Structure 1
Amino acid sequence: MATNASLAKLFAPTGTLRASINLGNPILANADPATGAPFGVSIDLAKAFALRLGVPLELVVMDTAGKSVQAVNEERADFGFFAIDPVRGKEIAFTAPYVLIEGCYLVREESPLSTNEEVDQAGRRVAVGLGSAYDLFLTRELKHAEIVRAPSSPTTVATFVEQNLDVAAGVKQQLEADARQRGGLRLLPGHFMVIRQAMGVPKTRGEAAADALRAFVEEMKASGFVAEALARHGIEGAAVAPPG
Structure 2
Amino acid sequence: MAACASAPSAPVAELAPSGTLRAAINFGNPILAVKDAATGEPRGVSVDLARELGKRLGVPVELLTFPAAGKVVEAVTAAQVDIGFVAIDPVRGTGMLQTPPYLVIEGAYLVRNDSPIKSNAEVDRAGNRIVVGNGSAYDLYLTREIKHATLVKAPTSPAVTDQFLAQKLDVAAGVKQQLQADAQRLPGLRLLDGRFMVIQQAMGLPKGRDAGARYLTAFVEEMKASGFVAAALARHKIEGAMVAPLQP
Percentage of matched positions with identical amino acids: 62
The match for 1:182 among 171, 183, 186 is: 186
Partner AA of 1:3 in structure 2: S
How many pairs align?
241
Distance in 1 separating the partners of 2:242 and 2:172: 23
Partner AA of 1:234 in structure 2: K
Counterpart for residue 223 of structure 1 = 226
Deviation at 1:35, TM superposition (A): 2.5
Counterpart for residue 9 of structure 2 = 3
Q: Deviations over 1:4-28 (max 9, x none)?
A: 2xx1111111111100110010011
Question: Which of structures 1 and 2 has the larger relative contact order (alpha carbons within 8 angstroms, sep 6+)?
Answer: 2
- TM-score w.r.t. the length of structure 2 is 0.95
Task: Check if 1:32 corresponds to 2:14.
Answer: no
Task: Check if 1:214 corresponds to 2:217.
Answer: yes
The match for 1:193 among 193, 197, 205 is: 197
RMSD across aligned C-alpha pairs, in angstroms? 0.9
Distance in 2 separating the partners of 1:158 and 1:213: 37
The match for 1:128 among 122, 129, 132 is: 132
Taking the TM superposition and a 5 Å limit, the aligned residue runs for 1:63-82 are 63-82=67-86
Taking the TM superposition and a 5 Å limit, the aligned residue runs for 1:86-235 are 86-205=90-209, 207-235=210-238
**Structure 1 gaps, min length 5:** none
Taking the TM superposition and a 5 Å limit, the aligned residue runs for 1:36-51 are 36-51=40-55
**Structure 2 gaps, min length 5:** 1-6
Partner AA of 1:93 in structure 2: L
Deviation at 1:2, TM superposition (A): 3.6
Distance in 1 separating the partners of 2:9 and 2:220: 17
Distance in 2 separating the partners of 1:216 and 1:14: 20
User: The residue matched to 1:19 in structure 2 has which SS?
Assistant: strand
Partner AA of 1:223 in structure 2: S
User: The residue matched to 2:39 in structure 1 has which SS?
Assistant: coil
Partner AA of 1:64 in structure 2: A
Deviation at 1:209, TM superposition (A): 1.2
Partner AA of 2:211 in structure 1: A
Deviation at 1:183, TM superposition (A): 1.2
Distance in 2 separating the partners of 1:202 and 1:75: 5
Distance in 2 separating the partners of 1:86 and 1:32: 32
- TM-score w.r.t. the length of structure 1 is 0.97
Partner AA of 2:9 in structure 1: T
Deviation at 1:34, TM superposition (A): 2.9
User: The residue matched to 2:32 in structure 1 has which SS?
Assistant: coil
Deviation at 1:3, TM superposition (A): 1.6
User: The residue matched to 1:204 in structure 2 has which SS?
Assistant: coil
Task: Check if 1:15 corresponds to 2:19.
Answer: yes
User: 4+ residue runs of structure 1 moved beyond 2 angstroms?
Assistant: none
Deviation at 1:118, TM superposition (A): 0.7
